[in-house]
Amino acid sequence: MQLGAHVSAAGGPQNAPERGREIGCDCIQIFTRNQRQWQVKPISDDEAAAFRENRRAHGIGAVMSHSSYLINLGTTDPDKFARSYNAFDQELIRCHQLGVELLNFHPGAHVGEGEATGIAQIAHALNALCRTHPDKTDVLLVLENVAGQGTTLGSSFEELRAILDQLEQPERFGVCIDTAHVFAAGYPIHTEEGWEETWEAFDRVLGMDRLVALHLNDSKPPFASRKDRHALIGRGEIGAEAFRRVLTDARTRSLPMFLETPAGPEGWAQEIEWLRGAARGEDRPLPQIGDAGVNL
């Protein structure tokens, strides 16, 4: 079992492994760049070497990078698409430099052009990226499901399948399921019956071998709201039982799991401790932590 959180890479990505270990992470998610800016400083060879060494020294298992939210591979606007594609291209290069094996990204939004057009545009971008970088198969490209706000694509397993069906090298892709997003999109993981239905549907549409990671987040908005706002584990509309299931279900318990709750580092340490207890079958109370305003 690998439990972790999205930790800060301030001052350089080489600082992230130690920050993760300080709060009890077995695995970490990072931004390899300032995700609010298009132009970013390249990673130096020294930074890349230090990241690899610090990851080894602190015993960090899986590492996943979360791509910039500025990127929209679903747009047909030539300038916006070019900027998004180039930024995503650099994300892949940075992961390859650092030895980060998972690159997580939101598929994109069609911005009024229609689902079919948006999906085709996303697939076009991903196919071009794979053709451009045949030497970077060490980085798995990970499609994340979304809540379904606005014209975003990837809220249903069928939409993710539609993207994968148009890829020339589907073996270079995996899927990360965000618990808050899947709940907001209308998959009833908050009930025992709904939990089973959700994973049966995932297996039927995508195949369980496509699932490579999980984002653990409770949801502030109610079920099927299509709104993306994360809550502390067990303090939102999903509730604690679903997170106990994720830690004991053979289909999910061995996956790297990353917290993105609004707890902040100190709160994540407490949530990780609670989750480990839940995995052991302990019925301990939820941690009493504040909301740090984190929403990834």
64-81 tens-digit pLDDT:
999 999 999 999 999 999
User: Which stretches of the chain score pLDDT less than 50?
Assistant: 295-296
Residue 164 in any domain: the answer is yes
Helix, strand, or coil here: 189? coil
Burial status of residue 175 (CB atoms within 10 A of its CB: 0-12, 13-18, 19 or more): buried
Distance CA 141, CA 121 (A): 16
Residue 220 in any domain: the answer is yes
pLDDT at site 39: 87
pLDDT at site 202: 99
Residue 259 in any domain: the answer is yes
Residue 154 in any domain: the answer is yes
Residue 6 in any domain: the answer is yes
Range of the domain at 140: 2-279
Q: If you ran DSSP here, which 8-state letter would residue 145 be given?
A: P
Residue 286 in any domain: the answer is no
**What does the block give as tokens for 295?**
């929403």
pLDDT at site 292: 65
What are the beta bridge partners of residue 200? none
Task: Kindly provide the residue ranges of all beta strands, DSSP E only, lying in the chain, ordered along the sequence.
Answer: 2-6, 27-30, 63-66, 102-105, 108-109, 140-144, 152-153, 173-178, 211-216, 218-219, 230-231, 256-259
Residue 150 in any domain: the answer is yes
User: Crossing angle, helix 157-165 and helix 115-132, to 10 degrees?
Assistant: 50
CATH number for the domain spanning 132: value is: 3.20.20.150
pLDDT at site 182: 98
pLDDT tens across 3-40, in order? 999 999 999 999 999 999 999 999 999 999 988 889 88
Residue 235 in any domain: the answer is yes
Active site residues: 36, 66, 69, 106, 144, 178, 181, 215, 228, 230, 260
Q: How many domains are contained in the chain?
A: 1
